Amino acid sequence: MTSEIALAYAHPEARARATEGDVIPDRISLRDYVTSADIGAYQQERGKRLRLCFNVVVEVEPGSGIEDDVDKGVSYDRITEAIEAELAGERLNLLETLAENEAARVLLAPRAQRTFVRVEKLDLGPGALGVEIVRTRDAALTDAEEEAPTPWVILLSNAALASPHLTSWLDEIGQAGVPAILCVGPPDTPVGDVGHTFVQRRMDLLDIEQNAWRLAALDDRCIVRATRSELDWAAKQRQISVWAPSKMVLDAAHPPLGLTAGHLAQWLAQEMSADRLLAVGVHLDGAEIRDADTPHLA
């Protein structure tokens, strides 16, 4: 039992050796890489940068370094760049999610076969609090290899929501066979100023989401989705999503400049690498404009 406990707390490289198969792989390791990020599920953790310590081992095909070509194997930079890329994306609540994303990104490297990722928070007490995962290439590439198609982002005004052409627009999207993300603004009678910046931000976002659910009630094809993962999955299925912005906006490392419907739609289009940005019944810089009385989107 003592040796098992010692192994559990050993560097991931020791864990890798203990679970190796008949073919002994080459291993590349990163030890005690310390950086900082705003991460955590609790409100008191938001807005604070906590130190994180990464220990990563990547198993690669034996002999990967024989060709002496950094582009044909796993470099140390590949590991650190994967860490920083994940931390620069949306704000995460769980270390488990960060470790999963890091592992999937590392396993995209040529010849990478298996990775051990340990992530620890260093500032929440006298010790380190963390998580360790093990992932293989096959499992990591199931979703990673299939990229979500670029969607249309369509901003609908309240006049467009009330338009008799709404159903025909949705029909047109379905016939085009493209994924679409519908964005809305607040209802015509939004919440007033409550005099508190943080609370106002939350209430403004919830006001928009109330309108999103109103759209979902108008047509069963309009499914409200709140996360990037949900939007990507729906895009792969060529489905129509109605965006509930609170989670993505509040978790974003680089949030939109404002919470107007226009700011949010433009920010989402950039985040999703949208193929088309369309505004119906409202003027929006950089978007194709359609009048709410126009029966066709094309």
CATH number at residue 74: 3.30.1130.10
pLDDT at 295: 86
Domain end: 126, 144, 162, which one?
144
The residue type at 140 = A
Question: What does the pLDDT read at residue 8?
Answer: 56
Quote the pLDDT of residue 75: 75
Domain assignment of residue 270, yes or no: yes
Q: What is the CATH number of the domain that holds 255?
A: 3.40.1160.10
Report yes or no on 297 lying in a domain. Answer: no
Output the pLDDT for position 197: 79
How high is the pLDDT of residue 142?
Answer: 46
> Which residue stretches of the chain are H helix?
2-8, 12-18, 76-88, 95-106, 137-144, 158-161, 166-176, 197-218, 228-236, 246-251, 261-271
pLDDT for 287 equals 85
Q: Phi and psi for 215 in degrees, rounded to 5?
A: -65, -40
User: What pLDDT sits at residue 63?
Assistant: 65
In this prediction, residue 30 carries a pLDDT of 92
Q: Are residues 208 and 133 in the same domain?
A: no
Domain boundary among 102, 122, 144: 144
Residue 65, pLDDT score:
54
In a domain, 138, yes or no: yes
| Local mean pLDDT, 10-residue blocks, the chain (298 residues) | 55 70 80 91 81 93 59 73 84 90 88 91 87 81 59 95 94 91 90 77 92 94 89 88 93 87 94 92 88 85
What pLDDT, on the 0 to 100 scale, is given for residue 71? 52
Q: Say what the pLDDT of residue 67 is.
A: 55
- What is the amino acid identity at position 230? E
Q: Residue written as tokens 């991931």?
A: 12
Q: Could you tell me if residue 170 is inside a domain?
A: yes
Q: What residues make up the domain containing 229?
A: 152-290
Which tokens hold the place of 52?
A: 């994180």
> Does an H or E element contain 35, and which?
strand 26-37
Domain count for the chain: 2
Radius of gyration of the chain measured on its C-alpha atoms: 23
pLDDT at res. 7: 58
